[in-house]
């Protein structure tokens, strides 16, 4: 029973006491009014999906606007983030404290919480930042997974909620959706319900311009239950959602809607997608919808109906609080949700660091990371590991970790499959849900595939750790397709992201410690495939990597030159310093494992570390960004283009990233003996 006809103005007349039409029309009116006032925004989606959202919230979504962080709330994700006014309208009517009508009037204005796309952390009740299409859907998979994993640990009493997603055509066309739905179907995340705004319109016009895919068949192939429903038929929607909640597989509900429902001339066309309707069209829509209220005004009855949803949520939350108080697992549950590392965590790491300084292992930093994770995963149960099908290369697995499997969510390791983008988004979902600290591995070069979601880790300030191994031409034979050259720069350029490139086992442990403590910042650990000696053979209580950069080898008497390196090239700097000593040049070696943290030190500290002598930067990567450290007189020894396929040693020679090249660069700057 489809009503795609745009003249079918009155959506389903709900006989129940909830005035469904009015509740939905309030969302439509707020969206068109706010977009009109802002002179920019997207009215089409909120107007088209208002009925779906009303059916979903009126009957099903359980949350408490007074306690937006209640752990067992349902998660509602607006993956089609351009329809932000739908969410802001809902949150306004539900009574979130920050979402007064003034905020709707200041939609998309500086200082308002009503950003163009919903931003987690900026606005209450926004579970994740959306806008880049497909991200919300994939992040929701992580949240639904977190729910099951916590449920496995704490039971139905404390953890039993749904994850609802509104997704658009764009979300389903983006590649990340494939990775996400495959993983969700495989893991049988039955409490994940996706409501697809199937309006047949994208920005360029009808979706038939660019797709012929049978989405229901596609989701079914991925192990989902699927349904199709008239997105303007209240009862049918309620029935569909109720059915979706009852199955053991995730569900896609295709909601056939009219974009911009109610707009007299623009509904059902791309004209209503992303621009204000204009005064005449809004007037026409008001008339057609029977919404005779001034802009931004919502009658009391409608407000009361929406407030009832919040009230229902408050009761549920209070009942849950009682269950929590009575639960023997309270402390463990709260510790998990707070994500605090155990009190003796740092002590255990310090003891292990002392061991490392003494044993001075010569291992690849990916191996050092595995060793560190052995200690970390034993010291806290917060960590949840995984890899995008490179477990034995990334060395992300440690003994005793049980993999999560379909229907068996008690484990702490995730086989993400060959899905770097979804891995990053799922980790965002795990972190946002709270209850764990996710880390996941792939090769550094494949951060290309994950970048869209990594950016959101940074923008949302989530504690997610990216274990990115094979971090340079040092990976050798796999060749230029697998050798990162520009990726350190790409990641360093991203705000609020720690990019650690540790030089040895001690720095690797320190980087892990910093990453796990960085509650508001995701981290990248760029790790070598090839073995590296341990330089930090004198134990330091202090986390020197926390300074971002420091003098790892002091000059013997005076400082003639400062060699600055990261990761595997610190070894090379040491060797160059030895060679220079033979030529009576006294070199300091600076390790610079985390530029972001180094930037944060005082100018005096930085000056002291970098010194006033000429400087040579060394990194088996592109130069971009290095001029900051080496200055105008400085030299750089690194990559100038893409890599090549050959054993690592041959490549370092071939690309002239050698101790001798560093000596030559130095002797260009100084007089060498």
* Among the listed residues 121, 479, 546, 611, the single contact to a copy of itself using CB under 8 A: 479
- C-beta atoms surrounding 492 within 10 Å: 19
Stretch that binds a copy of itself, among 7-15, 139-147, 253-261, 447-455 (CB under 8 A): 447-455
Q: Shortest approach of a copy of itself to residue 26 CB, angstroms?
A: 23
By CB under 8 A, tell whether 176 contacts a copy of itself.
yes
By CB under 8 A, tell whether 343 contacts a copy of itself.
no
Instruction: Report the C-alpha gap between 356 and 350 in whole angstroms.
Output: 10
Tokens of 397: 């697995």
Instruction: Report the C-alpha gap between 282 and 164 in whole angstroms.
Output: 30
Tokens of 49: 């999906």
Instruction: Report the C-alpha gap between 341 and 349 in whole angstroms.
Output: 12
**Binding residues for a copy of itself restricted to 385-404, rule: CB under 8 A:** 387, 389-393, 403
**Binding residues for a copy of itself restricted to 614-653, rule: CB under 8 A:** 622-625, 627-628, 631-632, 639-642, 644-647, 650-651
Q: Shortest approach of a copy of itself to residue 133 CB, angstroms?
A: 6
Stretch that binds a copy of itself, among 91-99, 102-110, 545-553, 572-580 (CB under 8 A): 102-110
Stretch that binds a copy of itself, among 89-97, 332-340, 471-479, 531-539 (CB under 8 A): 471-479
**Binding residues for a copy of itself restricted to 201-240, rule: CB under 8 A:** 202-205, 207, 209-218, 220-223
The contact pattern for a copy of itself, residues 484-513, with x = CB under 8 A and - = no contact, is -xx--xx-xxxxx-----------------
Q: By C-alpha distance, which of 227, 213, 118, 216 is closest to 174?
A: 213
| DSSP, res 552 | E
Instruction: Report the C-alpha gap between 129 and 132 in whole angstroms.
Output: 9
By CB under 8 A, tell whether 169 contacts a copy of itself.
yes
DSSP conformation letters of 385-432: EEESS-HHHHT---TTPPBPBTTB---SEEE--S-HHHHHHHHHHHHH
**Closer by beta carbon to a copy of itself, 391 or else 528:** 391
Q: Shortest approach of a copy of itself to residue 527 CB, angstroms?
A: 17
**Closer by beta carbon to a copy of itself, 582 or else 640:** 640
Stretch that binds a copy of itself, among 54-62, 177-185, 230-238, 544-552 (CB under 8 A): 177-185
**Closer by beta carbon to a copy of itself, 192 or else 337:** 192
SS3 565: strand
**Closer by beta carbon to a copy of itself, 573 or else 651:** 651
Q: Shortest approach of a copy of itself to residue 173 CB, angstroms?
A: 4
SS3 544: helix
Annotated binding-site positions: 42, 82, 131-133, 169-170, 199, 201, 273, 366, 393, 446, 470, 478, 482, 529
Stretch that binds a copy of itself, among 60-68, 115-123, 142-150, 522-530 (CB under 8 A): 115-123
Question: Which residue matches tokens 């979130």?
Answer: 96
By CB under 8 A, tell whether 248 contacts a copy of itself.
no
- 447 touches 457 (CB < 8 A): no
By CB under 8 A, tell whether 482 contacts a copy of itself.
yes
Return the C-alpha torsion angle 586, 587, 588, 589, nearest 10. -150
Helix (H) or strand (E) holding 196: strand 192-198
Annotated binding-site positions for Mg(2+): 169, 199, 201
Burial of 243 (0-12, 13-18, 19+ CB in 10 A): middle
- DSSP strand pairing (383-387 vs 437-443): parallel
Instruction: Report the C-alpha gap between 193 and 415 in whole angstroms.
Output: 22
Tokens of 153: 């640990």
Q: Shortest approach of a copy of itself to residue 240 CB, angstroms?
A: 20
Tokens of 59: 């009957």
By CB under 8 A, tell whether 418 contacts a copy of itself.
yes
**Closer by beta carbon to a copy of itself, 379 or else 425:** 425
By CB under 8 A, tell whether 411 contacts a copy of itself.
no
Tokens of 400: 């005793």
**Closer by beta carbon to a copy of itself, 92 or else 178:** 178
| DSSP, res 270 | G
Name, in order, each residue with C-beta under 8 angstroms of 4's C-beta and a sequence gap of 6 or more.
200, 256, 257, 258, 268
**Closer by beta carbon to a copy of itself, 59 or else 105:** 105
**Binding residues for a copy of itself restricted to 129-168, rule: CB under 8 A:** 129-133
By CB under 8 A, tell whether 603 contacts a copy of itself.
no
Annotated binding-site positions for substrate: 42, 273, 366, 393, 470, 478, 482, 529
By CB under 8 A, tell whether 604 contacts a copy of itself.
no
**Closer by beta carbon to a copy of itself, 19 or else 549:** 549
* Among the listed residues 228, 235, 303, 451, the single contact to a copy of itself using CB under 8 A: 451
Annotated binding-site positions for thiamine diphosphate: 82, 131-133, 170, 199, 273, 446
Q: Shortest approach of a copy of itself to residue 353 CB, angstroms?
A: 30
- 220 touches 233 (CB < 8 A): no
Q: Shortest approach of a copy of itself to residue 360 CB, angstroms?
A: 28
Instruction: Report the C-alpha gap between 415 and 412 in whole angstroms.
Output: 10
Q: Shortest approach of a copy of itself to residue 395 CB, angstroms?
A: 12
Instruction: Report the C-alpha gap between 325 and 318 in whole angstroms.
Output: 11
CA-angle at 544, arms to 538 and 549, nearest 5° = 120
- 339 touches 382 (CB < 8 A): yes
Q: In the chain, how long is the greatest CA-to-CA distance?
A: 95
* Among the listed residues 110, 325, 331, 343, the single contact to a copy of itself using CB under 8 A: 110
**Binding residues for a copy of itself restricted to 182-201, rule: CB under 8 A:** 182-183, 185-186
Q: Shortest approach of a copy of itself to residue 165 CB, angstroms?
A: 17
Q: By C-alpha distance, which of 504, 334, 519 is closest to 431?
A: 519
DSSP conformation letters of 602-660: -HHHHHHHH-SS-EEEEESS--TTTHHHHTTT-EEEE-SS---SS-HHHHHHHTT-SHH
**Binding residues for a copy of itself restricted to 72-101, rule: CB under 8 A:** 81-82
**Closer by beta carbon to a copy of itself, 7 or else 40:** 40
Q: Shortest approach of a copy of itself to residue 188 CB, angstroms?
A: 8
Q: How many binding residues for a copy of itself (CB under 8 A)?
A: 113
Q: By C-alpha distance, which of 630, 645, 632, 643 is closest to 590?
A: 630
Q: Is 370 a catalytic residue?
A: no
**Which one of 174, 281, 420, 596 is the catalytic residue?**
420
**Closer by beta carbon to a copy of itself, 128 or else 513:** 128
CA-angle at 619, arms to 617 and 623, nearest 5° = 75
**Closer by beta carbon to a copy of itself, 342 or else 631:** 631
**Binding residues for a copy of itself restricted to 28-57, rule: CB under 8 A:** 38, 40-41
- C-beta atoms surrounding 331 within 10 Å: 9
Q: Shortest approach of a copy of itself to residue 125 CB, angstroms?
A: 17
* Among the listed residues 177, 377, 469, 513, the single contact to a copy of itself using CB under 8 A: 177
Helix (H) or strand (E) holding 466: strand 465-469
Report the catalytic residues: 420
């Amino acid at each position: 029973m489809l009503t795609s006809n745009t003249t079918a103005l009155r959506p389903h007349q709900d006989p129940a006491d909830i005035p469904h039409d009015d509740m939905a029309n309030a969302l439509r009116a707020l969206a068109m009014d706010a977009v009109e006032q802002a002179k920019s925004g997207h009215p089409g989606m909120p107007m088209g999906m208002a009925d779906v959202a009303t059916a979903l919230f009126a009957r099903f979504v359980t949350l408490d606007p007074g306690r937006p962080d209640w752990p067992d709330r349902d998660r509602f994700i607006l993956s089609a983030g351009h329809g932000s006014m739908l969410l802001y309208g809902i949150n306004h009517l539900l009574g979130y404290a920050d979402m007064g009508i003034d905020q709707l009037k200041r939609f998309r204005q500086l200082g308002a919480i009503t950003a163009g796309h919903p931003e987690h952390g900026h606005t209450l009740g926004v579970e994740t930042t959306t806008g880049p299409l497909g991200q919300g859907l994939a992040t929701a998979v992580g949240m639904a997974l977190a729910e099951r994993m916590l449920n496995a640990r704490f039971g139905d009493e404390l953890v039993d909620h749904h994850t609802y997603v509104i997704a658009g055509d764009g979300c389903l066309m983006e590649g990340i959706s494939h990775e996400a739905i495959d993983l969700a179907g495989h893991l049988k995340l039955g409490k994940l319900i996706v409501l697809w705004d199937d309006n047949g319109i994208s920005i360029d016009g009808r979706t038939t311009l660019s797709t012929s895919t049978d989405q229901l068949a596609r989701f079914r192939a991925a192990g989902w239950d699927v349904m199709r429903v008239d997105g303007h038929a209240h009862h049918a929607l309620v029935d569909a959602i109720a059915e979706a909640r009852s199955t053991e597989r995730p569900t896609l509900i295709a909601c056939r809607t009219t974009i911009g429902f109610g707009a007299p001339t623009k509904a059902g066309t791309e004209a209503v997608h992303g621009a204000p309707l204009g005064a005449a069209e809004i007037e026409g829509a008001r008339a057609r919808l029977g919404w005779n209220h001034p802009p931004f005004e919502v009658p009391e009855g409608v407000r009361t109906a929406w407030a009832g949803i919040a009230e229902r949520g408050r009761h549920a939350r209070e009942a849950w609080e009682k269950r929590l108080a009575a639960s023997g697992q309270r402390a463990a549950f709260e510790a998990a949700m707070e994500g605090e590392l155990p009190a003796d965590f740092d002590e255990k790491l310090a003891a292990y660091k002392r061991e490392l300084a003494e044993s001075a292992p010569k291992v690849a930093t990916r191996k050092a990371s595995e060793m560190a994770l052995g200690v970390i995963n034993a010291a806290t149960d917060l960590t949840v590991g995984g890899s995008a099908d490179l477990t034995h290369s990334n060395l992300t697995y440690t003994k005793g970790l049980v993999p999560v499997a379909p229907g068996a969510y008690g484990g702490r390791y995730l086989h993400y499959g060959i899905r770097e983008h979804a891995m990053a988004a799922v980790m965002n979902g795990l972190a946002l849900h709270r209850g764990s600290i996710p880390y996941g591995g792939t090769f550094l070069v494949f951060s290309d595939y994950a970048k869209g979601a990594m950016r959101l880790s940074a923008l949302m300030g989530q504690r997610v750790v990216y274990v990115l191994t094979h971090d340079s031409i040092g990976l050798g034979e796999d060749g230029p397709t697998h050798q990162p050259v520009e990726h350190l720069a790409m990641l360093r350029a991203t705000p609020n992201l720690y990019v650690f490139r540790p030089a040895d086992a001690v720095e690797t442990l320190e980087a892990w410690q910093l990453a796990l403590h960085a509650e508001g910042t995701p981290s990248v650990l760029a790790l070598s495939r090839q073995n590296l000696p341990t330089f930090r053979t004198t134990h330091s209580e202090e986390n020197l990597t926390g300074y971002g950069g420091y003098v790892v080898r002091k000059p013997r008497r005076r400082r003639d030159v400062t060699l600055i390196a990261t990761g595997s090239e610190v070894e090379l700097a040491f060797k160059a310093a030895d060679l220079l000593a033979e030529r009576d040049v006294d070199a300091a070696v600076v390790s610079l494992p985390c530029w972001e943290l180094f930037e944060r030190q005082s100018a005096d500290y930085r000056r002291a570390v970098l010194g006033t002598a000429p400087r040579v930067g060394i990194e088996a990567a592109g130069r971009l960004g290095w001029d900051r450290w080496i200055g105008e007189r400085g030299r750089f020894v690194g990559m100038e283009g893409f890599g090549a396929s050959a054993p690592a040693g041959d490549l370092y020679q071939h690309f002239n990233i050698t101790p001798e090249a560093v000596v030559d660069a130095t002797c260009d700057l100084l007089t060498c003996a």
